[in-house]
Structure 1
């Protein structure tokens, strides 16, 4: 009898172990395998929430079949206490393991509402947009001038949302005065700041938080530009007619203002380098314009003959060599072009058409250049 009971107990134990092992394998497959989500979603993780609440939300949105299993898996991986607030894009078919990684690894929100403060050469704007999880594209909800237009209601709404992402996007070629002026219009930033030296701000996109200090943001821009310049200068070509990183920045700013075509930067740089080497004046309009405006906005008209004839530190038709300071904040590509120009014998260039995007026509001799200028003048007359 006891032998029979022991045999039954052993059989029951074997079955129980087998079932437990099968359940564990099933749970592992469910946790790591593709999930039931048919379309990507934007998952909001509120500040102060917990993994149990997040798992329930995921279950309600059809992202996981077994919310409890996600919570147990996160606990087993020691990630329960690593939950990060924000809005996260959960892709189609994401496994529970992938979802746990998404909501615990931190970093900027990957979906939801985004406010971009764009500081451009000619104007500034505030753009409110929201990611459509189904397409993975941002859809614009509002766009306005922070200085002149009425603030739309949607902007006031999204500013109050905890998961809204804020960025300042600085265009290549803006002046330091423009940057400070436009940052002063942003109601999410605080504090005052002096206009920094021209050329010391790196054009880029900067993540900000509401209430951040303007001076702190300017400091980040300056640190980024210093790093870019230091790297470019360390990798500069030999025998350049510029002696210091500061002179490289001046040249880079001129290149930045002279061409809107990325592929032309090194070629434009070669023209100015050739002129400096041969002692030929740079004769570039953007420096003259900077001398007229002092970098405070765009000129908005053509240069007058009296302005071209006036001798100022920035009139490269009247002075030899480089102007005393940069004339804008150049981007990385222009800085790198300034210290690694193309190898040409070209000394001249003029716009190819009335559209800046069409670039320039280059020439080695004055005769060739005069022909190119005449062709451009014909285009001007035809357009009028």
Structure 2
């Protein structure tokens, strides 16, 4: 009996020692020398994930990891996405990261005033997105920053950008001021795209929207330079001065040669430009010109406007930009 008791103590000691060793292996430093990102695809099991961790050098053995996870881990499911594993991460911490940490999110930004051809270019150049997309319809994307995950399709990201515009436009249209110069949400986007291209100063958007609203109400031509450029470059920078022949050109966009709005947007817009069009500043101004500091100076009469233009020309001559 004494021998059996001693044998039991030895077995118990071995079991305890084995458990202590297992706990140390489970919670101790791993082999990973530098941080690495791992991607867990939709539908992958813990077995699949363990294989990914072994291949990335996060763990030494897929089978040992699965054994430890079964007896020492919890039963929470792993999540899909991209996860960063820090150097020397333990097996237990690696499992916790896959179960609890949010996946890495990357961002793609569409600036206010970016035309559709450049939105397409940016999405196609964004790393870790997948698949092809056509050039989106002009003015169909809300200018903003969008989170995406590694392996997500470009089509899904683009659809999210377009849905964001639909939702934002619907909310702003419902809160629009009375007696605005546009009659449909579609017209609001067209005018907002012109406002977006006319100023880089957020504070000026309501006032520029007010000027163009005044012109629309009285049937005066908008005479917006960006509408001349759009048919030539599809919204890209012209890179030179506008030619007289381009000012006189007759097409569905050039607001120098026709009254009213162009046939469609000339860029993608942000929330503030839409809001400016739907709640424009109250002003009697009908004209504006650059003031040389990044903003504009506004005028109610053509005579006052011509004086402002001459001051702008004088400033440009001083800078060597005009003869």
Say what the alpha-carbon RMSD is for the aligned residues. 3.1
| Aligned match of 1:139 | none
Q: 1:194/1:282 Cα in 2 relative to 1: closer, same or farther (>3 Å)?
A: same
Q: CA deviation at 1:302?
A: 1.4
1:334 is the counterpart of 2:273: yes
**What does residue range 159-178 of structure 1 map to in structure 2 within 5 Å?**
165-178=105-118
Q: Distance in 2 between matches of 1:203 and 1:106?
A: 29
Question: Could you report, residue by residue, the CA deviation over 1:213-258 in whole angstroms, capped at 9, with x for unpaired residues?
Answer: 2111111110001111111111111111211100000000000000
| Aligned match of 1:369 | 305
| Aligned match of 1:229 | 169
| Aligned match of 2:76 | 81
| Aligned match of 1:285 | 225
SS of aligned partner of 2:207:
helix
| Aligned match of 2:43 | none
- Which of 298, 310, 320 lines up with 2:249 in the alignment? 310
Q: Distance in 2 between matches of 1:288 and 1:270?
A: 21
SS of aligned partner of 2:125:
coil
Provide TM-score, normalisation by structure 1: 0.59
Q: 1:214/1:104 Cα in 2 relative to 1: closer, same or farther (>3 Å)?
A: closer
Provide TM-score, normalisation by structure 2: 0.69
Q: Distance in 2 between matches of 1:45 and 1:103?
A: 12
Matched length: 250
Question: Could you report, residue by residue, the CA deviation over 1:126-147 in whole angstroms, capped at 9, with x for unpaired residues?
Answer: xxxxxxxxxxxxxxxxxxxxxx
Aligned residues of 1:82 and 1:105 also touching (Cα < 8 A): no
Q: 1:167/1:45 Cα in 2 relative to 1: closer, same or farther (>3 Å)?
A: closer
1:324 is the counterpart of 2:282: no
Aligned residues of 1:348 and 1:363 also touching (Cα < 8 A): yes
Q: 1:222/1:310 Cα in 2 relative to 1: closer, same or farther (>3 Å)?
A: same
Gapped regions of structure 1 (runs ≥ 5): 1-42, 51-74, 89-100, 110-164
1:300 is the counterpart of 2:239: yes
Q: 1:167/1:294 Cα in 2 relative to 1: closer, same or farther (>3 Å)?
A: same
SS of aligned partner of 1:381:
helix
1:262 is the counterpart of 2:191: no
Q: 1:215/1:83 Cα in 2 relative to 1: closer, same or farther (>3 Å)?
A: closer
Q: CA deviation at 1:102?
A: 11
Aligned residues of 1:281 and 1:316 also touching (Cα < 8 A): yes
SS of aligned partner of 1:189:
coil
| Aligned match of 2:317 | 381
Q: Distance in 2 between matches of 1:383 and 1:239?
A: 42
Q: Distance in 2 between matches of 1:231 and 1:327?
A: 22
Q: Distance in 2 between matches of 1:185 and 1:102?
A: 29
SS of aligned partner of 1:203:
coil
Aligned residues of 2:114 and 2:267 also touching (Cα < 8 A): yes
Question: Could you report, residue by residue, the CA deviation over 1:352-379 in whole angstroms, capped at 9, with x for unpaired residues?
Answer: 10x43xx110111111111111100000
SS of aligned partner of 2:203:
helix
**What does residue range 75-224 of structure 1 map to in structure 2 within 5 Å?**
81=76, 86=83, 106-107=101-102, 109=104, 165-224=105-164
